[in-house]
Structure formats: structure tokens, C-alpha cells
């Protein structure tokens, strides 16, 4: 079974631009969660999508948004990029069940650098 895939793997943008990152979950997984990882703040939860609906949201400004398609693939968008948005953006997929045994599996991440 293929794992979680993320594209692109690396991205360089300048301040003020916007960016879209893509995540394809493991086949059969309906939940996609996005995380931002920085050296200073560690791994922080952005949002979760399940069945094309945002189900959970972290504490990030509205410049960070996402969506999920009917095939469970997800995209996240960051508008008006700031230097502090430079980070590794990780997506994780799971079945999306409430059961404790429903585990999240991570993709390799997209390394975003904002200049």
C-alpha cells in the first residue's frame, strides 16, 4: 500500500506570495491533518479535513486554509506569505475514526522557504 505523498517536496517563495501544497493520503484513509514544524515551535496542528469538511482547527491565522476533495486528497494554501511561515509542512492521514486505534501516518513533508 502506498504511503502518504506530498508535493512539492521543496518550495521557495517570497514574502507576500501565496502557496498551495498538496497531500494524497493512504488509500482508504478519509482524514487528512496538516501540521507545521519549525525549530522554535515544534510540531503544531493546523487543521484536519474529513469527508471534504474541516473537522478540527488549530490556532493559526486565516491566511492558512485548506480543502479536501472527494477522493480525500487535500490541499493547503497560505496567502500573503511571511518570513515566519518558513517551515516543514507535514500532512498525516488516518481512517478518521474516533477509536483510539485509528493512527495517523505522516508524509515526507514539504519544505517551504520564504525569502
Partner 1 sequence: GQQLNQSPQSMFIQEGEDVSMNCTSSSIFNTWLWYKQDPGEGPVLLIALYKAGELTSNGRLTAQFGITRKDSFLNISASIPSDVGIYFCAGRMGRRALTFGSGTRLQVQP
Q: What is the DSSP string of 41-108?
A: TEEEEEEEEETTEEEEE-S--TTEEEEE-TTS-EEEEE-S--GGG-EEEEEEEE---SSTT---EE--
**Cell representation of residue 26:** 493512504
In the complex, the smallest distance separating the C-beta of residue 83 from partner 1, rounded to whole angstroms, is: 20
CA distances from 61 to 2, 6, 58, 109 (A): 32, 23, 9, 21
Give the residue with the Cβ less far from partner 1, 6 or 68: 6
Closer of 59 and 70 to partner 1 (Cβ): 59
Among residues 1, 2, 28, 59, the one that binds partner 1 under rule CB under 8 A = 59
| DSSP letter assigned to residue 9 | S
Stretch near partner 1 under the rule CB under 8 A, chosen from 11-19, 54-62, 65-73, 77-85: 54-62
Residue 109 interacting with partner 1 (CB under 8 A): yes
* Site residues, partner 1 (CB under 8 A): 4, 6, 33, 42-43, 45, 48, 55-56, 58-59, 88, 90, 92, 96-98, 100-101, 103-109, 111
Amino acid at each position: 500500500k502506498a504511503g502518504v505523498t506530498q508535493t512539492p517536496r521543496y518550495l521557495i517563495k517570497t514574502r507576500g506570495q501565496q502557496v498551495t501544497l498538496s497531500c494524497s493520503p493512504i488509500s482508504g484513509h478519509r482524514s487528512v491533518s496538516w501540521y507545521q514544524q519549525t525549530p522554535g515551535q515544534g510540531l503544531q496542528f493546523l487543521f484536519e479535513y474529513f469527508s471534504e469538511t474541516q473537522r478540527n482547527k488549530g490556532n493559526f491565522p486565516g491566511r492558512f486554509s485548506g480543502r479536501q476533495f472527494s477522493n480525500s486528497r487535500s490541499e493547503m494554501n497560505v496567502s500573503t506569505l511571511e518570513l515566519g511561515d518558513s517551515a516543514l509542512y507535514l500532512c498525516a492521514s488516518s481512517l478518521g475514526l474516533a477509536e483510539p486505534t485509528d493512527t495517523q501516518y505522516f508524509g515526507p513533508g514539504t519544505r517551504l522557504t520564504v525569502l
